[in-house]
Amino acid sequence: MVIVGRNPHKTADVIAEIKVQNPSGGAVDGLVADLSSLADIRRLAEEFRSKYERLDVLVNNAGAYFNRREVSVDGFEMTFALNHLGYFYLTHLLLDMIKSSAPARIVNVSSGAHPMGKIKFDNLNSKGIYLGWTAYGTSKLMNILFTRELSRRLEGTRVTANVLHPGFVATNFGHNGKGLWPLFVKWSQKRAITPEKGAQTSIYLASSPEVAGVSGAYFHNSKIVQPSNAAQDDDLALRLWEVSEQLIAEKEKTLA
């Protein structure tokens, strides 16, 4: 198992904790990358390829809510950069390795907040009036649409792609905001499930034989559920794929 974190100390601590809790488990390694940066994602993918020969399961989980507009090093609005382009680009860079490891799985963590999203292709960077929940919901809608199109493109490869809502989970989610917002989040998380419970659907999709042949579905509580109508729009999924590819290709020219 390889864990990716942006903070080397925190990543090392998590690895140490996993080893303590599961001393007879397999090897656990860590790689460090800022998943909101395309250059860092590219470096991460290269490092992964140089160190490992296969990738059986890729879980795209890192994501955040930004209550004020921030911009990534590449100039993208942060929610869009981290929550969507991060998943999209890392998956792309590792896809041939995942395919050659088949049967293999891709698991994307979305959210029940996705119905709040609306994709505006003429303003993907949320310029002008910025609403954190709209940006977040849109990025989580993108996670489902990305999975849908990815799954379609992976037909016949024995690689599955599924997406999930983990539930309302008492993690550090929302603690990064400014003003009263983090206090409100911490208060509301008193009613949230534990991180252990919140991880169950991700673990189920990553490892259960029950879903070995299932692809393109949206899960909650380890069951298939229907996402919003927009999240089932194949034309929207294709357009998002093509636009994301184009945005990254333009940026890649400056990364060389």
Ligand X SMILES: NC(=O)c1ccc[n+]([C@@H]2O[C@H](COP(=O)([O-])OP(=O)(O)OC[C@H]3O[C@@H](n4cnc5c(N)ncnc54)[C@H](OP(=O)(O)O)[C@@H]3O)[C@@H](O)[C@H]2O)c1
Within a 10 A sphere around the Cβ of 26, how many other Cβ atoms? 6
In the bound complex, what is the minimum distance in angstroms from residue 59's beta carbon to ligand X? 10
234-255 helix and 86-100 helix, angle to the nearest 10 degrees: 90
Residue 204 bears catalytic tag: no
Place of tokens 């003429």: 122
Among positions 35, 55, 94, 205, the unique one binding ligand X when judged by CB under 6 A: 35
Strand pairing class (159-165; 218-220):
parallel
Among 22-30, 164-172, 220-228, 244-252, the segment contacting ligand X (CB under 6 A): 164-172
171 binding ligand X? (CB under 6 A): yes
Rounded Cα–Cα distance for residues 256 and 252 (Å)? 7
Rounded Cα–Cα distance for residues 224 and 229 (Å)? 15
Rounded Cα–Cα distance for residues 190 and 183 (Å)? 12
Among positions 39, 43, 47, 61, the unique one binding ligand X when judged by CB under 6 A: 61
Among positions 44, 64, 154, 237, the unique one binding ligand X when judged by CB under 6 A: 64
Among positions 38, 41, 59, 62, the unique one binding ligand X when judged by CB under 6 A: 62
Backbone angles phi, psi at 224, to 5 degrees: -70, 130
228 binding ligand X? (CB under 6 A): no
- Chain positions contacting ligand X, by CB under 6 A: 5-7, 10, 34-36, 61-64, 82, 109, 111, 165-166, 168-169, 171-173, 192
Point out the residues that are catalytic.
136
